[in-house]
Amino acid sequence: MLNPIFKKEKFKKSVREEVKNLFRTTLEEANSHQIYQAVCYVVKDVIIDNWMKTQKVMNETDPKIVYYMSMEFLTGRYLGNNLLNLTAYGEVKEALDELGIDLNAIEDEERDPALGNGGLGRLAACFLDSLATLGYAAYGCGIRYHYGMFKQEIRDGYQVEVPDNWLKDGGYPFELKRPEYAKEIKFGGYVRVSYNQETGRNDFIQEGYQSVRAIPYDLPVVGYNNNVVNTLRIWDAEAINDFQLDSFDKGDYHKAVEQENLARTIVEVLYPNDNHMAGKELRLKQQYFFISASVQTAIQKYKKNHGDIRKLYEKITFQMNDTHPTVAVPELMRILMDEEGLTWDEAWEVTTRTCAYTNHTIMAEALEKWPIELFSRLLPRVYQIVEEINRRFCERVRAQYPNNEEKIRKMAVIYDGQVRMANLAIVGGYSVNGVARLHTEILEKRELKDFYEMMPEKFNNKTNGITQRRFLLHGNPLLAGWVTEHVGKEWVTDLSRNKGLTVYADDEKAQAEFMNIKYQNKVRLAKYIQEHNGVEIDPRSIFDVQVKRLHEYKRQLLNILHVMYLYNKIKEHPELPFYPRTFIFGAKASAGYERAKSIIKLINNVGGVINHDETIKGKLKVVFIEDYRVSNAELIFAAADVSEQISTASKEASGTGNMKFMLNGALTLGTMDGANVEIVEEVGEENAFIFGLTADEVMNYEQNGGYNPMQYFNNDPDIRQVLMQLINGMYSGGDMNMFRDIYNSLLNTQNSSRADMYFILADFKSYAAAQERVEAKYRNEAAWARSAILNTACAGKFSSDRTIQEYVDDIWKLERITVK
Ligand code: GPW
């Protein structure tokens, strides 16, 4: 039922009031940003009521709670999504219309909270949406970075990183500061051991440390149409002494300044690395900071209603989003032993039944390893516990595999002077899951083989998913309306309903409607691109889209080399038929990742040449969308015909963009990698374009060698021509060195075994052939429409509602709550 606050007249009045209270101005004189804030505060009122009701139900029914711990939550904007989940979007839109205000424009006033890099952070946000919608008690635990992901500007074709101060003009409308729940977090110093007469045990006391105060800010997570509001709790830092006089008195001026600095730096900025570990001390500080605060809070909350801390796991699960939160394992041990008085064995029993770990990558450079020196200096007590975990675990391994030091070398938590966080997460938890079937198989058979053999019961797969509420209902209102017309509204909370669209795949009227909606979304995106990039594109051309983080393994380079190849073909054979195509890219590169940045420059320069060549009559366009982020992603997915999912097989753990495209009726052009395998299984290979080496073939080359990119260069004139154009100045205003590094990365004639590690040349021709199949199919309008409809119809499996229900059934064992 609609909350009375959203009744049009009431709502209009409230907005007027709010504008007056907040800005001492009238609605007529207020600017869009002020109106946006006023609308948020009116909506927030409703949310807070439901929030309190949810808390009340949680207190009364005492359900088990999952704490989803993540360094990243890439939520995207709140206002539109909150209105939709409160089922008040239409009403509010009309009310604002009557005031002469466009809700879309108001939504555009909100900046994206970009507290994440890419897939991993967005997954966390989708999971929170599904948890609230399914009615499970959950907390997201994260960090309130003052600067999230940078804003990307493209200047002269180069990426420029601009700080994005998302909290400027007085914080974020939907958040709530909760100073009463502050926690102290200690770093450094040393551990003093002292015998305790009373307990007969040693006390471990951290002394000479620095500390900061962790202050929580709560963001509401609104469930769809069910009154449930869960909490995303992000931690900010404040100095503990605030230059209080006692520090001066003690002559501890230096420490006061240092603690002040610690508080300022620790939450300052999100590390902009995706699938890459930078190994910086500050990063480990961030990890311990939010984990210690979250674990302390969870235990405190548990103890309010429960006597026996040994039963913690009956009411709490800590799900660790990759290894970034893995200090939760020794931190929980520390609190249980040092503060709750449990023995090692008791604490270990609780910890290993409370913690669970999700792995998101097999890329070696992403594996977190911390030098002992750094780890033990920063977290002296926690390190002692890690050492003991390692000692006991190695003992177990030696008992089970006598005289097999190879097992220790692979499985030890501490080895070669480093703490290995994945090993700690596996040993210290009760569940290890991969994020797509293929990925989990690779973990079990290769990357984590020894662990799998020793403890197979811990391993399980949870294929990723996405929330259809943001990526269809909000991002693509036209298609959302069409789906509802054909299968009813239930798909919003049960995406398997989309299956009912299958019967319309061959229906001419349905095909025409579907393609017309796609066309209108292409017009909408073309307008955005015109406004933001100044490039004119033709909505009748095929929109071929690759949007994701820039990484060599994701192979944006394969895509742009193929564009260069097409351009050569069109120039050489202008008479041949060619269906107009717009290649759309969007990608941020990590600030220190030089090769990724130069691929961005290459894409822009290729666009610069091709887009201005009038002789090709607009057949080919290349656009790079600046500052790819959740808000413009919603427009992009809705408008795509072709979804580029072309990672080197075995490298993309799952991918989730692939699912968002599918849901919006784009056809996948991809390798048999990550969740692409399951997408094809759902929709049928004839409704996708699959190419390239398989994961087994790639891993076989990696293990046994035998791949030589030079062969392709020597034997294939098309490939040779494109590669030579990287170093002949064609796309660099005559500069023969601008793209030399990229050329070398593909060929490296000195050391071919280190060349083309992502098998771009091996896959080039089969990619080009798949692209020809794309064009052929697009020429057959009915065939394309059929496949597009089937993609939307078969996307049901990829709802994060399904994923979350599987986590609940297999790992978390939560019960649902109901809020009236
Ligand atoms: F390296 N992913 C990501 F595993 O976006 F930690 N950032 C990361 O740092 C990592 C993984 C990490 C992505 C995977 O690349 C993608 O395949 C997957 O769909 C996504 O996590 C969510 O599981």
Q: Does 359 sit in the ligand 1 pocket, CB within 6 Å?
A: no
Verify whether ligand 1 is closer than 6 Å to residue 447 (CB atom): no
What is the pLDDT, as a whole number, of residue 251? Answer: 67
Q: What is the pLDDT of residue 253?
A: 83
Question: Domain residues for 420?
Answer: 62-76+112-464+805-812
Ligand 1 atom at shortest distance from the alpha carbon of 361: 4
Residue 81 CB less than 6 A away from ligand 1 = no
In a domain, 442, yes or no: yes
Q: Say whether pLDDT at 206 is over 60.
A: yes
- 471 secondary structure, DSSP code: I
Q: Judging by DSSP bridges, how do beta strands 158-162 and 151-155 pair with one another?
A: antiparallel
pLDDT at 248 over 60: no
DSSP 686-705: GGSEE-S--HHHHHHHHHH-
Mutate to test the pocket of ligand 1, among 275, 321, 679 (most ligand atoms within 8 A of CB): 275
Structure token digits, residue 126: 């989708």
Ligand 1 pocket check for 125: Cβ under 6 Å: no
| Cα–ligand 1 centroid distance for 592 (angstroms) | 18
* Rounded-to-5 percentages of helix, strand, coil across the chain: 55, 15, 30
| Ligand 1 contact via 674 beta carbon (within 6 Å) | yes
User: How much is the pLDDT for 439?
Assistant: 98
The reply to whether 588 belongs to the active site is no
Per the listing, tokens 């030091």 go with 405
Which protein residue's CA is at the shortest distance from atom 22 of ligand 1?
120
The tally of domains found in the chain comes to: 3
In a domain, 714, yes or no: no
Q: 689 exposed, middle or buried (CB, 10 Å; 0-12, 13-18, 19+)?
A: buried
Contact status, residue 422 vs residue 378, Cβ threshold 8 Å: no
Ligand 1 lined by 656 (C-beta under 6 Å): yes
What would the mean pLDDT of 804-810 be, rounded to a whole number?
99
Structure tokens at 403: 């005289």
Cα(554) to centroid(ligand 1), Å: 12
Q: Which atom of ligand 1 is nearest to the CA of 674?
A: 17
687 lines ligand 1 (CB under 6 A): no
Token output for 307: 């006597």
Ligand 1 contact via 673 beta carbon (within 6 Å): no
Q: Nearest 10 degrees: CA dihedral of 499, 683, 587, 728?
A: -150
Together in a domain, 525 and 441 = no
User: Residue type for 496, please?
Assistant: S
- The protein residue whose alpha carbon is closest to atom 9 in ligand 1 is 275
Q: What type of residue sits at position 555?
A: R
430 and 495 fall within a common domain: no
The whole-chain average pLDDT of the chain stands at 97
**Is 328 in the same domain as 180?**
yes
Task: Tell me, using a 6 A CB cutoff, whether residue 464 lines ligand 1.
Answer: yes
484 is catalytic: no
Tell me how far the alpha carbon of residue 274 lies from the centroid of ligand 1, in angstroms: 7
Q: Do 44 and 152 sit in the same domain of this protein?
A: no
Whose CA is closest to atom 1 on ligand 1?
275
771 band by pLDDT with thresholds 50, 70 and 90: very high
Residue 805 makes CB contacts below 8 A (sequence gap 6+) with 134
Spacing, Cα 120 to ligand 1 middle (Å): 5
- 66 CA to middle of ligand 1, Å? 21
Known catalytic residue at 554: yes
Q: Could you give the C-alpha distances from 717 to 99, 306, 713, in angstroms and in order?
A: 64, 73, 7
pLDDT of the residue at 255: 85
Beta strand pairing call for 581-586 and 418-420? unpaired
| Cα-to-centroid distance, 321 and ligand 1 (Å) | 10
One domain, residues 392 and 430 = yes
Residue type, 735: D
CB-ligand 1 contact for 653 (6 Å cutoff): yes
- C-alpha R_g of the chain: 27
Q: What's the pLDDT score for residue 90?
A: 97
Q: Kindly state whether residues 204 and 266 are assigned to the same domain.
A: yes
Is 422 found in the same domain as 390? Answer: yes
Position 247 pLDDT exceeds 80: no
Residue whose token pair is 């040693």: 202
Q: Is residue 723, in this structure, part of any structural domain at all?
A: no
- The CATH code of the domain that includes 643 is 3.40.50.2000
d(CA 277, CA 590): 11
- Determine, yes or no, domain membership for 256: yes
Report pTM.
0.98
Q: Is the CB of 434 under 6 A from ligand 1?
A: no
667 close to 791: Cβ distance less than 8 angstroms: yes
Both 541 and 676 in a single domain?
Answer: yes
Q: Are the C-beta atoms of residues 600 and 522 closer than 8 Å to each other?
A: no
Question: pLDDT confidence of 80, banded at 50, 70, 90?
Answer: very high
Sheet holding 689-690, edge to edge: 620-624, 581-586, 542-547, 642-645, 667-670, 689-690
The model's pLDDT over 351-378, given as tens digits with 9 standing for 90+, comes to 999 999 999 999 999 999 999 999 999 9
At 1 the pLDDT is: 75
Domain membership of residue 718 (yes or no) is no
One-letter amino acid of 313: Y
Given 549, 551, 601, 621, the catalytic residue: 549
Residue 339, pLDDT above cutoff 80 = yes
Q: What pLDDT sits at residue 250?
A: 66
Q: Are residues 586 and 499 in the same domain?
A: yes
Answer whether residue 435 is part of any domain.
Answer: yes
Cα of 119 to ligand 1 centre, how many Å?
A: 5
Please report the pLDDT score of residue 500 as a whole number.
98
Q: Let me know if 148 is exposed, middle or buried by CB neighbors in 10 A (0-12, 13-18, 19+).
A: buried
652 lines ligand 1 (CB under 6 A): yes
Q: Please state, for a pLDDT cut of 70, what percent of the chain lies above it.
A: 99
- pLDDT recorded at residue 249: 55
**Residue 107 within a domain:** no
Q: Which of 650, 646, 656 is nearest to 545 (CA)?
A: 646
Name the E strands within 550-682: 581-586, 620-624, 642-645, 667-670
Per-residue pLDDT tens over the stretch 82-113 = 999 999 999 999 999 999 999 999 999 999 99
pLDDT average, residue stretch 713-736: 98
- Evaluate: CB of 587 within 6 angstroms of ligand 1: no
**Which tokens in the block code for residue 618?**
């607009």
Does residue 561 carry a pLDDT above 70? yes
Is 168 designated active site?
Answer: no
Cβ of residue 554 lying under 6 Å from some atom of ligand 1: no
Say how many Å lie between the CA of residue 655 and the centre of ligand 1.
Answer: 8
Separation of alpha carbons 792 and 523, rounded Å: 20
Helix axes 508-533, 781-793, angle to 10 degrees: 90
Please check the confidence at residue 243 and state whether its pLDDT lies above 70.
Answer: no
- 347 with 397, same domain: the answer is yes
pLDDT band for position 639 (50/70/90)? very high
User: pLDDT, tens digit, for every residue of 16-52?
Assistant: 999 999 999 999 999 999 999 999 999 999 999 999 9
In a domain, 716, yes or no: no
User: Which residue of 360, 433, 807 sits with most ligand 1 atoms within 8 Å of its CB, as the best mutation to test the pocket?
Assistant: 360
Q: Which of 44, 77, 183, 360 is catalytic?
A: 360
Residues 118-135 have pLDDT tens digits of 999 999 999 999 999 999
Residues whose CB is less than 8 angstroms from the CB of residue 257 and which lie 6 or more positions away in sequence, other chains included: none
445 and 481 in a single domain? The answer is: no
Residue nearest to atom 3 of ligand 1 (CA): 120
Closest approach atom of ligand 1 to CA 360: 4
Q: Is 111 considered catalytic here?
A: no
Task: Decide if the complex's ipTM is over 0.95.
Answer: yes
| 369 and 472 inside one domain | no
24 in catalytic set = no
> What's the whole-number mean pLDDT along residues 582-599?
98
Token pair of 750 as six digits: 């000195």
pLDDT at 244: 61
The single residue of 361, 440, 656, 792 carrying the catalytic annotation is: 656
Mean pLDDT, rounded, for 568-588: 98
Nearest atom in ligand 1 to the alpha carbon of residue 366 is: 1
Contacts of residue 210, defined as CB under 8 A and 6 or more positions apart, other chains included, come to 186, 187, 188, 189, 255, 258, 259, 262
Q: What is the mean pLDDT of residues 537-541?
A: 98
Kindly report which listed range (79-83, 253-257, 664-668, 732-736) carries the lowest average pLDDT score. Answer: 253-257
Inter-residue contact 15 to 98 (CB < 8 Å): no
